[in-house]
Amino acid sequence: MPNSFPNSMDFTGFNAPSRIECDIFDLVVAGKLPADINGSWYQTVPDPQFPPMLGKDTYLSGDGMMRLFRFENGHVDFKQRYIQTERFKNERRARRSLHGLYRNPYTDDPSVRGKPRGVNNTTPIFHGGRLLALKEDSRAMEVHPRTLETLGEWNYQGKLRSQTMTAHTRPDPETGELYFFGYEANGLATRDVAYCVANKDGELIREEWFEAPYCAMMHDFAVTKEHAIFPVFPTTSDLGRLRAGGAHWIWEPTKDSFIGIMPRDGSVKDLRWFRGPATSAYHFMNAYTEGTRVHLDFGCGKVNPFPFIQEASGIQVHPQDMAGSFVRWTFDLSKPGERFEATVLGPGGDMPRAAEKDAMKDYEIGYYQTFDPTLGPPLIAGPVGAGFNTILRLEVRSGKLKSFHPDGQSTVQEHFHIPSQTPGHEGYLGFIVDRHAESLSELFILDAQHLDKGPLARVKVPLRLRVGVHGNWIPAAAL
Ligand SMILES: [Fe+2]
């Protein structure tokens, strides 16, 4: 194969494709892993097996790779395997990429027209005894949790009508239910959104559809004990543009943002839409209901941050003009109208996460990531270009912050939270550190409450691990 991966930020630095499937038994650990860390951390990674058919592409198109770090009694084993989607298998047979623009099948090679083009490269979840690899443009693929062998598409035993399933699902830690949705549920650029619930055994018990105000990239949603919240920000799609061979997404700041809120056990007919000016956000840290008020916490930006979407929209925005704030939006259901309140909780950032036990209710602590320019120039890592270099611990009520950064020549991949077995202990944060100078990776484990004190343990990986998207920690007892 000729090496014709482009020299763009999507394919260089820590975004350079790895294409490595491997097992490493008993990784070297510096420091001491706490005895109560036993379980598996799964992470999904876009890792293209072939250079883009059209000469350029986004990092987000890469074939899904599943990564597993298995922690057992102070030891860590590593495994990495491709998710064998139909697209992956078709391209492997052809020994080249057969797919064109991101999420535009009208630009594909004629040999794969009408065939599935999902890559399932965004989030691994474990629910109802199944490990699923998700990406929002298609249905889940099931992967064996030990061997990482691909088991096939998961469509809830034929029950799921939606053609898509979000990469961001919301498990209720108390009921074991999984809340999720699918947008473009009825096909490309449709406004249909499916709201779905699976019970603790992984059976689909509910699927109800509604129409969003326009077809938007609905990357995440939020659920409280009482409500489901569907944010719609103006990164939009259009079937005419797709048929003409254009981009799936453009940023359309003339459109408003909409937030639909409904009782989570009610009907989509009860959806009430709040409205504000154009903003851009991808991930929600948490949400909860307090009487008639619903709170939603997240990193809120001014413009879509993805370079390939900005290019398709005919804009180029300097990173300092994109940075927003970490905010709380509060919606008062007792008041009429479309307005809501916004409160700043901290500096701008993304990849927010609260401990799973705190999901859907009033909480004290959350963790997210930011880019601190005083630590050094931006380093290429991840879909936006510059990778995050700092992890923040936010005390939500007081706004008090603690931070951790590895050094000026490293970026951090998304962190995960590991609960502790000790009552009252805040647990641990784990994350991959991208060592740009050495082109190698390490997995850091920190005490979540004292993350400013640095790592308790550093798990050394003798490879450069291409920047992943999302991951989830599954305790050994659950597996
Ligand atoms: Fe995401």
Distance 299 CA to ligand 1 centre (A): 12
243 CB neighbour count, 10 Å cutoff? 12
For the chain, the 3-state helix, strand and coil shares in percent, each to the nearest 5, are 10, 40, 50
For 114-145, letters b (16+ CB in 10 Å) and e give eeebbbbbbbbbbbbeebbbbbbbbbbbbbeb
Distance 185 CA to ligand 1 centre (A): 18
Question: Token pair of 303, please?
Answer: 């413009």
Distance 173 CA to ligand 1 centre (A): 20
Distance 423 CA to ligand 1 centre (A): 31
Distance 135 CA to ligand 1 centre (A): 9
Distance 346 CA to ligand 1 centre (A): 20
Assess contact for 226 and 211: CB atoms under 8 A. Answer: no
pLDDT exceeds cutoff 80 at 234: yes
pLDDT exceeds cutoff 80 at 427: yes
Distance 175 CA to ligand 1 centre (A): 24
Distance 286 CA to ligand 1 centre (A): 14
pLDDT exceeds cutoff 90 at 269: yes
Q: Where are the beta strands (DSSP E) in 291-405?
A: 293-300, 325-332, 341-347, 350-353, 365-370, 390-395, 401-404
Distance 222 CA to ligand 1 centre (A): 13
Assess contact for 433 and 445: CB atoms under 8 A. Answer: no
Distance 211 CA to ligand 1 centre (A): 22
Distance 119 CA to ligand 1 centre (A): 14
Q: Residues 159-182: pLDDT tens digits?
A: 999 999 999 999 999 999 999 999
Assess contact for 440 and 461: CB atoms under 8 A. Answer: yes
Q: What is the mean pLDDT of the chain?
A: 97
Distance 123 CA to ligand 1 centre (A): 7
Closest CA to 225 of 273, 286, 169, 279: 286
Question: Token pair of 436, please?
Answer: 């740009």
Distance 285 CA to ligand 1 centre (A): 11
The pLDDT, as a whole number, for residue 321 is 75
State the sign of the Cα–Cα–Cα–Cα dihedral 303, 309, 313, 314.
positive
Distance 220 CA to ligand 1 centre (A): 7
Matching residue, tokens 């260089």: 12
d(CA 327, CA 358): 18
Distance 336 CA to ligand 1 centre (A): 32
Q: Residues 25-54: pLDDT tens digits?
A: 999 999 999 999 999 999 999 999 999 999
Q: Residues 185-200: pLDDT tens digits?
A: 999 999 999 999 999 9
Distance 386 CA to ligand 1 centre (A): 16
Distance 341 CA to ligand 1 centre (A): 25
Closest CA to 78 of 40, 133, 30: 40
Distance 28 CA to ligand 1 centre (A): 30
Q: Are strands 29-31 and 428-435 parallel, antiparallel or unpaired?
A: unpaired
Distance 253 CA to ligand 1 centre (A): 21
Distance 375 CA to ligand 1 centre (A): 25
Q: Are strands 401-404 and 390-395 parallel, antiparallel or unpaired?
A: antiparallel
Closest CA to 83 of 94, 92, 95: 92
Distance 170 CA to ligand 1 centre (A): 13
Distance 470 CA to ligand 1 centre (A): 7
pLDDT (average), residues 360-383: 96
Distance 37 CA to ligand 1 centre (A): 25
DSSP characters for 247-274? Answer: -S-EE-TTSPEEEEEEETTS-GGG-EEE
Question: Token pair of 33, please?
Answer: 């892993």
Distance 414 CA to ligand 1 centre (A): 10
List the domains of the chain with CATH numbers. 13-475 (2.130.10)
pLDDT exceeds cutoff 80 at 430: yes
The pLDDT-based confidence of 323 (bands split at 50, 70, 90) is: confident
The pLDDT-based confidence of 384 (bands split at 50, 70, 90) is: very high
The pLDDT, as a whole number, for residue 43 is 98
Q: Which residues have CB under 8 Å from 430's CB, separation 6+?
A: 41, 415, 416, 418, 443, 444, 445, 446, 473
pLDDT exceeds cutoff 80 at 319: no
pLDDT (average), residues 53-59: 96
The pLDDT-based confidence of 55 (bands split at 50, 70, 90) is: very high
Distance 334 CA to ligand 1 centre (A): 32
The pLDDT, as a whole number, for residue 322 is 78
> What's CA 223's distance to the chain center, in Å?
16
The pLDDT-based confidence of 9 (bands split at 50, 70, 90) is: very high
Distance 166 CA to ligand 1 centre (A): 9
What φ, ψ does residue 80 adopt, rounded to 5°? Answer: -145, 125
The pLDDT, as a whole number, for residue 369 is 98
Distance 103 CA to ligand 1 centre (A): 16
d(CA 72, CA 325): 39
The pLDDT, as a whole number, for residue 3 is 80
Q: Which residues have CB under 8 Å from 119's CB, separation 6+?
A: 46, 61, 62, 63, 64, 83, 85, 87, 88, 135
Q: Residues 341-352: pLDDT tens digits?
A: 999 999 999 999
pLDDT (average), residues 212-224: 98
d(CA 468, CA 414): 8
**Burial of residue 1, with CB atoms counted within 10 A of its CB: 0-12 exposed, 13-18 middle, 19 or more buried:** exposed
Q: Residues 284-317: pLDDT tens digits?
A: 999 999 999 999 999 999 999 999 999 999 998 8
